[in-house]
Amino acid sequence: MMRLHKLYHRFTLLPFSPLSLPSNPSLLPLAPPLRLTLRLRTAVNFASMASSRLRNLAPLAAAPTEDAAAAFSSSANAATSFDYEDESTIGTKYRVPPPEISKIVDAPPVPALSFSPLRDKIIFLKRRALPPLAEIARPEEKLAGIRIDGKCNTRSRMSFYTGIGIHQILPDGTLGPEIEVHGFPNGAKINFVSWSPDSCHLSFSIRVNEEDSDSSKLTVWIADVKTGKAIQLFKSPNVHLNAVFDNYVWVNNSSLLVCTIPSSRGALPKKPLVPAGPKIQSNEEKNIVQVRTFQDLLKDEYDEDLFDYYATSQLVLASLDGYVKEIGPPAVYTSMDPSPDNKYILISSIHRPYSFIVPCGRFPKKVELWSAEGKLIRELCDLPLAEDIPISFNSVRKGMRSINWRADKPSTLYWVETQDGGDAKVEISPRDIVYTQLAEPIEGEQPTIFHKLDFRYGGISWCDDSLALVYESWYKTRKIRTWLVSPGFEDVAPDILFDRSSEDVYSDPGSPMMRRTQAGTYIIARIKRANDEGKYIILNGIGATPEGNIPFLDLFDINTRKTERIWQSDKEKYYETVVALMSDQEEGDLHLDKLKILTSKESKTENTQYYFVSWPDKKTVQVTNFPHPYPQLASLQKEMVRYQRKDGVQLTATLYLPPGYNPSTDGPLPCLVWSYPGEFKSKDAAGQVRGSPNEFPGIGSTSALLWLARRFAILSGPTIPIIGEGDEEANDRYVEQLVASAEAAVEEVIRRGVADPKKIAVGGHSYGAFMTANLLAHAPHLFCCGIARSGAYNRTLTPFGFQNEDRTLWEATNTYVEMSPFMSANKIKKPILLIHGEEDNNPGTLTMQSDRFFNALKGHGALCRLVILPHESHGYTARESIMHVLWETDRWLHKHCVPNSSDAEEDHETGTVKEHVNKVTTNAESKVVATSGGGSREVSELENEEFHSLPRSSL
């Protein structure tokens, strides 16, 4: 299960490596975009490596922006200048934080960026700021693990673009004047922007009046890139897009295959007043079925009917000249993938019987091969319901999986099949087998075994018959391998190219740069140099070093395995990464002396801009020139700091200080520590430096860095490694290692004189919230208060694994109990603010986790406050919600961190709990009084503290 554990204001395109695989280079968010850091529940996923490098990034960048600008007060007393009302009125409405913070969050976002497939044009996708709560509050259906907006017939809570501007890329690398896409209604919300293969047209969807049931549904539009004029693809006003799963795809330069709402669809199913019978689940066959705490599952037959109603599509083949043809029967189609030669279409769908215990990704799945005209050629597989996938990491579904087209062939399929029944605990060799086969094989011809793997398959990067790279990994050992395979030469044995630990970032050689073919696929770029017969590719690496990341490009000789560094980021001031190849318009090998790349460049004080770099002289041309998103913080101070845990593990963190701050003259500041733990198999790997000291400090809409504007020191992302070496599981010493890491971080900021020992707060989101609660329970001497957002606090409520723990509650009972801060609620004496979205859909972090934890805290007299945000999910989206979260956080820090901590301990809230729009509840008790022998005394939070050896928990 993939978990999103950090959301920053910019999306850095990480070097193309097996650990982070963006796809289509034609879709790229503009600086400063969103940075998404993903945690993988299962093995490293390399599947997208076979295709493009930056695929679908522009739609991601359309998420509500976290860019900002604000007026900053340089007063040393800025953190205490905001006037909080009488506490009897607290919790009656949505609030807005001080202007130093709110103006940053409210600043207009920069657009997203997308290059044409031919690299001759660029579009700017314009965006708006945070959406209002009224949009987030729209009704949604929670079905089969997904959330559907019934009025639009799409996934709910979709962000959108407000406009599209087209620019020609001139010969000197600069941009021509903007051509605005026009012709659609004013106020239209734009989604799913994509280029035609020949770069002559743009396709996109729009929705207009969401109050009206017809015009709120999506229509498909086509814009001429030369003129910007847009028209509807379908002449009939009754044809609407169904975007619950896939939406549409270009099958050639002039035709699209579109998922539409079936014209034969009847009325919305009505929920029966009287059920047909009881809800029954049975396991009379005594099958072992262990599943994590999935949410939004189907509940009954009515939900099944509702899911079918919204998810069923009719596929329509539509040409730009007006030709329209329905192909195939209505079904719940989940993906459409044309072959590189456009002769075939790979069609995936799901069907009944559905499940009440797993989401739709595990429903019965059928994969078929159709002709481009929609004729069924053959069925590739029909996989049964997969309720019994083991919870252990690297466990997978039985049968054919990862079915794709070879990117270097006209119409050759490849896929993988497990040999261990999908159970990672089964010892067998090989574990996975990769097969290939022509789309229409000769009668009786069996699939060809392409490669056998002892670890779990992770994807393939194709090049040609002489070169392909196959990836495999194994989570338990953190081993990762890259195989060199010659697909067209059976007599050439596969060879291991790289064999390393996925945790060892220092040894990461980088991943191959991909180039676009004329068929629109992406393959490994072959490089040739003058008077040299070598077989070269380019490796794009993050360049992790003890001084921070220094990205690079290496020319790699496949035959000799020797590398030559042909480009490297400036390590003194800038952080520059290679985004994509821009010189791949022609077929065949690329000449090194004609190489052209797109890079992103930033520094501590300069926000991200994009550049073209051209060989042989590496001439640089700046493409963008965005203003600083928050100029009032332009001179903030940033430093990557290193320090050591008491067991010798090397730790790192990023220390941010307000503009103009001088510790020698201004003295120590209140400090906010914001982090998220991570698991490792070795101390050496845990101590490696990740990130760069020269990266621009992206400030998100709920980022801890916002409190720089309130004169806080911010210790961002201090490493909290939970290490389980050898056969030891990391979580068996979770609390011990958690506390040791926190102690080292706090000691470092105090040693530097930038943090007041009595004014250090701790916070985190999701697994970081779990961390926060545990630190307040087991290390109360370190922090004056805590902020915990969208966390899970009782691991017995997630009995079949959580985060990176794949043992069950019954296999590791002590671990589950001891590392749950819920079980230590009686030890938490420092003030803790709990915030949670009322509609949290993340596995493990049900909203009741915060409800029950708050009740446990209140039952022991802890000073605590619970804020439930209506309509919000695991991350917060609406402006009202985000502003209120910032107001609550600022108030909490103002009340319990900025003052002397001993004063904060005695500061009581008064009044009763009130029902109000944010459902805020609070407990005013700040002291626990124990009676003994008829007397009473105050119990010190430092008394009788026990440090447990616990593992750690997750979202």
What's the pLDDT tens digit per position in 531-589? 888 899 999 999 999 999 999 999 999 999 999 999 999 999 999 999 999 998 888 89
Nearest to 149 by CA among 59, 62, 239, 213: 213
Nearest to 374 by CA among 343, 403, 401: 343
Which positions ≥6 away from 214 have C-beta within 8 Å? none
**What is the predicted pLDDT for the residue at 581?**
94
Report DSSP state, residue 568. E
The answer to whether 332 and 310 are in contact (CB under 8 A) is: no
Which positions ≥6 away from 315 have C-beta within 8 Å? 257, 258, 259, 260, 326, 327, 328, 333, 336, 347, 374
Q: What is the pLDDT of residues 249-272, one digit of tens each?
A: 999 999 999 999 999 999 999 999
CA pair distance 605, 697, nearest whole angstrom: 8
Q: Averaged in consecutive runs of 10 residues, what is the pLDDT profile of the chain (955 residues)?
A: 31 29 36 29 31 30 28 35 58 89 92 93 94 93 96 94 96 93 94 96 90 77 98 95 97 96 95 88 84 93 97 97 95 97 97 97 98 95 96 95 97 98 96 97 93 98 97 96 95 95 96 94 94 91 96 96 96 94 89 95 95 95 93 95 96 97 95 96 94 94 97 97 91 96 98 97 97 98 98 95 91 95 97 97 94 97 97 96 97 90 40 41 41 32 29 31
CA pair distance 824, 807, nearest whole angstrom: 22
Per residue in 718-733, is it b (16+ CB within 10 Å) or e — as a string? bbbbbbbeeeebbbbb
Which is catalytic among the residues 255, 766, 790, 954? 766
Which is catalytic among the residues 778, 874, 884, 948? 874
Using DSSP, how many helices (H) and how many strands (E) does the chain show? 12, 53
Residue 198 sits at the vertex; the CA angle it makes with 193 and 201, to the nearest 5 degrees, is 40
Q: Decide: helix, strand or coil at residue 547.
A: coil
Q: What is the pLDDT of residues 899-930, one digit of tens each?
A: 854 443 444 333 333 334 455 545 544 333 33
- Name the residue ranges covered by the structural domains of the chain: 110-274+289-388, 631-897
**What is the predicted pLDDT for the residue at 211?**
63
CA dihedral 533, 539, 540, 546 (to 10 degrees): -120
Active site residue 212: no
CA pair distance 529, 594, nearest whole angstrom: 10
CA pair distance 133, 872, nearest whole angstrom: 9
Which is catalytic among the residues 584, 806, 840, 890? 840
DSSP for 249-290, written as a single string: EESSSSEEEEEE--TT--SPPPPPSS-SS------TT-----
Q: Decide: helix, strand or coil at residue 169.
A: strand
The CATH classification number of 110-274+289-388 equals 2.130.10
Query: Residue holding tokens 């119990």?
Result: 939
DSSP for 35-78, written as a single string: EEEEEESSSPP-GGGGS-SSTTHHHHHTSPP----------TTG
**What is the predicted pLDDT for the residue at 87?**
57
Active site residue 840: yes
**What is the predicted pLDDT for the residue at 794?**
97
CB under 8 A, 24+ apart: contacts of 595-599: 595/527, 597/553, 597/567, 598/25, 598/28, 598/115, 598/623
Q: Decide: helix, strand or coil at residue 664.
A: helix
- Please return the burial class of 752, using the count of CB atoms within 10 Å of its CB with bins 0-12, 13-18 and 19+: middle
- Please return the burial class of 560, using the count of CB atoms within 10 Å of its CB with bins 0-12, 13-18 and 19+: exposed
Domains 110-274+289-388 and 631-897 share a fold: no
Domain 631-897 grouped into CATH 3.40.50.1820: yes
Report DSSP state, residue 732. G
φ/ψ of residue 261, rounded to 5:
-70, 125
CA pair distance 244, 489, nearest whole angstrom: 43
**What is the predicted pLDDT for the residue at 284?**
85
The answer to whether 773 and 788 are in contact (CB under 8 A) is: yes
Nearest to 207 by CA among 152, 249, 286, 168: 152
**What is the predicted pLDDT for the residue at 541?**
97
**What is the predicted pLDDT for the residue at 845?**
95
C-alpha dihedral sign at 880, 881, 882, 883: positive
